[in-house]
């Protein structure tokens, strides 16, 4: 028996959107970690630390999103196949300059922030304040990370 704080239809609708948020977050996490490992740049140390901080935050967000899906009574995707089917982000290779890595991560954080806004609004309208609150925190994180990355390009 589901003990979700919202009705089953709402739970399924919101979880479907959260599945894509989870997939996008996982792809961004993997990309950020890849860039952390493979960066070659005169700013290596500072960017290496920045990328590590960001992928650590993303790892925590992954757990929050998946656990929220379970809290509202649904299962979360958990395989690479599922994530790659659900994501709207593109994977990246290792042959990028530091500025290209920064730009790509900045654009992905901005994309995620922009996709979260309507989901937050929808969760609020459907009375799922817990999901809305979690996504607002995630929105702030993506906005801050995009800003931090953008500051390295000016």
List the chain domain ranges: 8-151
Q: What's the pTM value of the predicted model, to 2 decimals? A: 0.94
pLDDT band at residue 5 under the 50/70/90 scheme: low
In 3D, which of 15, 152, 35, 24 has the Cα closest to residue 92?
Answer: 35
CATH code assigned to 8-151: 1.20.1260.10
Contact 147, 109 (CB under 8 A): no
More confident residue, 69 or 8: 69
pLDDT band at residue 3 under the 50/70/90 scheme: very low
d(CA 132, CA 142): 15
For range 137-153, the mean pLDDT: 97
The reported pLDDT for the residue numbered 2 is: 47
Contact 134, 64 (CB under 8 A): yes
């Amino acid at each position: 028996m589901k003990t979700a704080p919202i009705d089953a239809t709402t739970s399924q609708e919101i979880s479907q959107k959260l599945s894509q948020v989870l997939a996008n977050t996982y792809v961004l996490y993997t990309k950020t970690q890849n860039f952390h490992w493979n960066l070659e740049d005169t700013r290596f140390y500072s960017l290496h630390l920045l990328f590590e901080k960001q992928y650590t935050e993303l790892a925590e967000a992954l757990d929050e999103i998946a656990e929220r899906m379970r809290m509202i009574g649904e299962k979360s995707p958990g395989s690479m196949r599922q994530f790659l089917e659900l994501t709207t982000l593109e994977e990246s290779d290792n042959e990028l300059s530091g500025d290209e890595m920064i730009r790509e991560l900045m654009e992905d954080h901005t994309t995620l922030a922009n996709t979260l806004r309507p989901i937050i609004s929808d969760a609020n309208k459907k009375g799922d304040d817990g999901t809305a609150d979690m996504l607002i925190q995630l929105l702030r994180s993506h906005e801050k990370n995009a800003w931090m990355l953008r500051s390295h390009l000016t």
